[in-house]
Amino acid sequence: MRPLAASLLFVMVLAGCGDDEPEFRPFDSADPGSVRDGPPFLGLIESRDAGEHWRAISLRGDVDFHVLAAQDTSVYGFGSDFETREPRFLSSEDRGRSWKRLSPPAELTGLTIDPRDSRHIVALGEQRGYVSRDGGSRWRPLAVPAGWSPGHPS
C-alpha cells in the first residue's frame, strides 16, 4: 500500500473487543506492521505528524471499522454500524471524506486493492475469498485451493 503522505497514519478502531472497551489500532500506511497507541475516536481518523495529533476524517461515532484498505484516493472499509452493530461495507473515492454504502459478499476478515486498478479488490471471508472488478458493487467467489479448509489454511 502506498502512503497518501510520508507521515500519514491510518487507524483501525475495534469496538467490543475484550472488555467491552474500544481497542485502537493505528498503523503507519508505509509500514502496516507498526502498531501504536492512539486517541479514542471511532470511524476514520488520521495523523500527519507521526501520531502526535489526530483529527477525525469521517464517520466518527458511526462506524467501527474491522478491515481497511487504501490505494491512492480510494479507501474501502468493512465494519459495523456503531449503534446497531449491523455489518457495513463502504467505499470512498476521496480519501475517506465521503462514503458509498455497498453490500459485502460475507463478513470480511481481509481486504486488498490491486495497485494498478483501485476498482479491482479482493476480500477474504471466514469461508472463502471473493473478487470484485467494479469497486465492490458485484462479487464473484474465488476458487478454493485443494486441501484448504476454513480456519486451517496451509
pLDDT at 145: 72
131 pairs with which residues across the strands?
122, 140
What CA–CA distances, in Å, run from 47 to 29, 82, 143, 151?
Answer: 11, 22, 39, 34
The pLDDT tens digits for 48-88 are 887 778 788 898 878 888 889 999 999 999 988 878 888 99
Look over the chain and give the mean of its residue pLDDT values, rounded to a whole number.
Answer: 76
CA–CA separation, 28 and 12 (whole Å): 11
Instruction: Write phi, then psi, for 53 (nearest 5 degrees).
Output: -130, 150
Between 8 and 125, the more confident residue is 125
Q: Which pTM value belongs to this model?
A: 0.69
Q: How would you list the strands of the sheet with 129-132, edge to edge?
A: 108-114, 117-125, 129-132, 140-141
Measure CA of the first residue to CA of the last residue in the chain; give whole Å.
25
Q: The C-alpha cell of 24 is what?
A: 485502537
Nearest to 138 by CA among 87, 92, 93, 103: 103
